[in-house]
Structure 1
Amino acid sequence: MIGQSSARRGGALLVTLVIILVAATLFAGCTTGTENGTPGSPDRLSGTLSITGSTTVLPIAQLTAEAFMAENSGADLQVSGGGSSVGIQAVGDGTADIGMASRDLKDTEKGKYPDLVKHVVAIDGIAVVVNPANTVDSLTQDQIRGLYNGTYTNWDEVGGPDLEVVVTGRDSASGTREFFHETIMKKEDFVNTQLEKNSNGAVKQTVVQTPGAIGYVGLGYIDESVKALSIDAGNGPVAPTIQNIESGTYPIARELYMFTRGEPTGLAAAYLTFISGPEGQQIVRDEGFVPLSGNWAAA
């Protein structure tokens, strides 16, 4: 009888221990982080995310990625440039998780990658820039087109100094070039002497180093090293500023995108939500772009 009673007590103790262990495991599952981002965790997200493409979107991606990783130390976001076409191809082919682009998909890309999903992350203006020594402060859209198609070859033909025009633009992988070609050039050919650069930064550097150069860059690349020209679309010169883009008065503005293959999940979904949230959009504004909350309308 004593042996049976001891056995019963031992069995009851074992059951109690099992219950305690199960409860502890469930409680731990509610307080520690996972790759899916369990609430209450200091490191809610983990994994690697590759982001590539547009050099216009690049500063936004780099800074929001840094801020996102600071809040999620288990996340590793790898960001690189290369141009909009590179980003779209990379995400479409599955070699990147997110493709950055400063233009929408071409018809050929829609056909080749039908499952790509577009996410608007910011609004940007394209600024036409010259060397600060150039006395020209504003141009009409027709004058800009004339400089880029070779109609004008000297700055004195558009009210500037007696100086040869050095036309500088982007290469064929650039979404900024695509938008500029449609909006300003009206799909006319660029002059064959145009210097083609593979990034906004390279265009800017050429303008800084070349007194007669003209170039175009995303709004976020403007600083005191270049002169951003006002553009007259028929109602007087308008400067490329966040306020003028938000009001719709600046004529060269467009949306900036990140593309995913299908609807985003996991880390990609969390990162895109972060960009569109208050902290991400503040970074967008701080970098000289227009946040999504702005009252922007395409001119």
Structure 2
Amino acid sequence: MDNTNQRKPLINGEIALFLRGLIIGKVLTLIVIGGLLWWLLKPNLASRSSANSSSNQSLNTDSSTGSTFQTVAEVPNASFNYGGSTAWASIRQLVDSQIQSTRPELQLRYVDPVNSSPGSSSGIRMLLDGQLDFAQSSRPLTDEEQAIARERGFTLEQRQVGMDGIAVVVNPSLNVSALTVDQLEKIYLGQITNWEQVGGPNLPITPLSQRPEDADTTVFSNNSNLKGQALGSNVQYIYSTTDAVRQLSKTPGGVYYASARSVVFQCSVKPLLLGRTSGQGIPPYREPMVSAEQCPRQRNQLNTQAIKNGSYPIIANLFVIIKQNKGREQQIGDAYAKLLLTDQGQRAIEQAGFVGIR
């Protein structure tokens, strides 16, 4: 009998068993090695996970010391309309979005004016007319606005939450580096009409401004003797700061004043030093100045130190305008101001490019 044919199945079975055992052994070896690696790396993974968790918590809730958006009580659970100063645009983008992320019960909706340009004046007017629940302003209330409020059965409160400067900007080609406050006022009153009168070239001055009834800020805000005076006949009125910057880039003799936060970082205009007296000009930007050629790779930054210590001559305070009527408008205006005045709110205002007051 031939045993060769009987031996072949046996050999094939032994080979299969050997290969199966080899595979199982390798799998077990990989499991053991993987387990050892997991055990060795476990502390680092746990530490990294903890760090990521802490980082995310810090971004979402600002867990550093001090008051936060979460600590403010009596934040109303509803949707509200607000508007006003265009200088507050970065606050609306950065700070208000943080507030609504942290306090989702509060919904804020920015409303533009219908028949006028956006600004502090138009925002306060809309608040008086019942179109807004609170307003954001870069200037204090006027006596006329307070009188209108009283006639309608309520009062207005202005609650300061931050500070800004009023910067003066010109075309980058203009060979003028500084103005005094008095010179700036006379330019807008039509009493100085040529740059030659302030040490510049023989070039007519083209002052740009928002209309006083819609203005975001006023160049006369710190001088009570000039409040309410009509601007010069050579003043050209523009819709917004964006329009003014665009026009200045094409107007060699143009000049414009606005929130420093709105214009200092722009590439197509040159900010001027501003002084209370000649020879004492303070820059609205951190020195050294970034030239138009360096921009946008670099941009001028706000001179927050000069604004905070009061050495910069024209300061614009940031106010939340609150309707005092014991209603929902007063409740939301008060809550919004309190949110901005928390430690977290003040830090966020400074991140938005302004100066906190605390």
TM range (shorter): 0.7 to 0.9
Root mean square deviation, CA, Å: 2.7
Distance 1:151 1:91 in 2: 35
Distance 1:252 1:91 in 2: 26
Query: Gaps (5+ residues) in structure 1?
Result: 1-38, 294-299
Give the Å deviation of 1:181: 6.1
Aligned mate of 2:282, from 210, 217, 238: 238
Residue number in structure 1 paired with 2:82 = 51
Distance 2:271 2:258 in 1: 9
Give the Å deviation of 1:176: 4.3
Task: State yes or no: 1:208 paired with 2:249.
Answer: yes
Residue number in structure 1 paired with 2:342 = 277
Distance 1:261 1:190 in 2: 30
Contact 1:54–1:174 (CA<8 Å) still a contact in 2? no
Count residues with an aligned counterpart.
252
What is the DSSP-based 3-state SS (H/G/I as helix, E as strand, rest coil) of the residue aligned with 2:78? strand
Task: State yes or no: 1:227 paired with 2:270.
Answer: yes
Residue number in structure 2 paired with 1:91 = 127
Taking structure 1 as the reference length, the TM-score comes to: 0.74
Contact 2:86–2:216 (CA<8 Å) still a contact in 1? no
57-66 vs 246-255, greater mean Cα deviation: 57-66
Residue number in structure 2 paired with 1:251 = 313
Give the Å deviation of 1:161: 2.9
Residue number in structure 1 paired with 2:35 = none
Q: For residues 184 and 48 of structure 1, do their structure 2 counterparts lie closer, same or farther at Cα, with a shift above 3 Å needed?
A: same
Taking structure 2 as the reference length, the TM-score comes to: 0.63
Q: Which has the larger Rg?
A: 2
Using the aligned pairs only, state the percent identity. 29
Give the Å deviation of 1:127: 0.5
Give the Å deviation of 1:183: 3.2
Residue number in structure 2 paired with 1:61 = 92
Task: State yes or no: 1:78 paired with 2:109.
Answer: yes
Distance 1:292 1:181 in 2: 19
Residue pairs, 1:1-299, within 5 angstroms: 46-81=77-112, 82-114=118-150, 115-180=155-220, 183=223, 186-187=226-227, 188-221=229-262, 222-223=264-265, 224-234=267-277, 236-240=280-284, 241-262=303-324, 267-293=332-358
Higher share of residues assigned strand: 1
Give the Å deviation of 1:266: 5.4
Distance 2:133 2:176 in 1: 43
Query: Gaps (5+ residues) in structure 2?
Result: 1-69, 113-117, 285-302
Give the Å deviation of 1:213: 0.8
What is the DSSP-based 3-state SS (H/G/I as helix, E as strand, rest coil) of the residue aligned with 1:290? coil
Q: For residues 184 and 153 of structure 1, do their structure 2 counterparts lie closer, same or farther at Cα, with a shift above 3 Å needed?
A: farther
Give the Å deviation of 1:158: 1.9
What is the DSSP-based 3-state SS (H/G/I as helix, E as strand, rest coil) of the residue aligned with 1:180? coil
Q: For residues 152 and 244 of structure 1, do their structure 2 counterparts lie closer, same or farther at Cα, with a shift above 3 Å needed?
A: same
